[in-house]
């Protein structure tokens, strides 16, 4: 039996569109640094070892897509430079980074445990990424989530040769 998803086009897939922005190897590392309070280019380079041109390109893509914004600063006696700060669009990516970190903690952490925790600023308790049902059923296990066509879905025709959702 053919998967039902093959009936629908992915030409307007928002996952594909997001990955066009976020899918490069260093992008989430740059976002990790900004979420961890590292805002300056030289500090990011020193901490991550990202090649200068790669970091320049990644920051440019994130600024051009409204995820980061440039904020000028000047050290005494130096030229004006930019810090990179999250926009609201950028802050909306934090659950994604928390989910990636949790996956890494579960499958890739050293024997001593994860190197970072995310905690609630107000009380210090751990914070987690979760799938939550809008109807009030609370947390939903991934196996209980069903992808289905949304209001912007485009049904493929027999003549349509565009890629399909996998």
Complete DSSP assignment for 50-109: --HHHHHHHHHHHHHTTSEEEEEEE-TTS-EEEEEEE-HHHHTTHHHHHHHHHHHHHHH-
pLDDT tens digits for 90-104?
Answer: 999 999 999 999 999
pTM for the model? 0.86
pLDDT tens digits for 123-162?
Answer: 999 999 999 999 999 999 999 999 999 999 999 887 666 5
Which pLDDT score, from 0 to 100, does residue 166 have?
Answer: 45
**Cα–Cα dist 42/29, whole Å:** 15
* CA proximity to 21, closest of 108, 90, 76: 90
pLDDT tens digits for 37-92?
Answer: 999 999 999 999 999 999 999 999 999 999 999 999 999 999 999 999 999 999 99
- For the chain, the residue count is 166
Check residue 24 and report its DSSP letter: S
* CA proximity to 40, closest of 89, 77, 75: 75
Which pLDDT score, from 0 to 100, does residue 161 have?
Answer: 61
**Cα–Cα dist 162/60, whole Å:** 30
Roughly what angle, to the nearest 10 degrees, separates helices 41-48 and 27-35?
A: 110
Residue 9's DSSP bridge partners are: 164
Which pLDDT score, from 0 to 100, does residue 158 have?
Answer: 72
DSSP, collapsed to helix, strand or coil, labels residue 112 as coil
Q: What is the longest distance spanned by two Cα atoms in the chain?
A: 70
Element (H, E) at 134: none
Domain map of the chain by residue range?
Answer: 4-144
Domain 4-144 architecture: Orthogonal Bundle (1.10)
């Amino acid at each position: 039996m053919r998967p039902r998803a093959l009936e629908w086009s992915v030409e307007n897939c928002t996952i594909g569109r997001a990955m066009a922005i976020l899918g490069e190897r260093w992008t989430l590392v740059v976002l990790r640094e900004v979420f961890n309070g590292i805002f300056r280019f030289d500090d990011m380079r020193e901490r991550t070892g990202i090649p200068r041109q790669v970091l320049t390109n990644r920051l440019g893509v994130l600024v051009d897509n409204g995820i980061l914004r440039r904020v000028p600063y000047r050290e005494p006696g130096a030229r004006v430079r930019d810090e990179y700060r999250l926009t609201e669009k950028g802050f909306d990516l934090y659950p994604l980074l928390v989910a990636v970190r949790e996956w890494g903690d579960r499958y890739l952490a050293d024997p001593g445990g994860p190197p970072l925790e995310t905690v609630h600023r107000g009380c210090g308790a751990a914070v987690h990424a979760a799938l939550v049902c809008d109807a009030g059923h609370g947390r939903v296990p991934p196996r209980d989530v069903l992808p289905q066509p949304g209001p912007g879905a485009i049904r493929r025709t027999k003549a349509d040769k565009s890629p399909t959702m996998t």
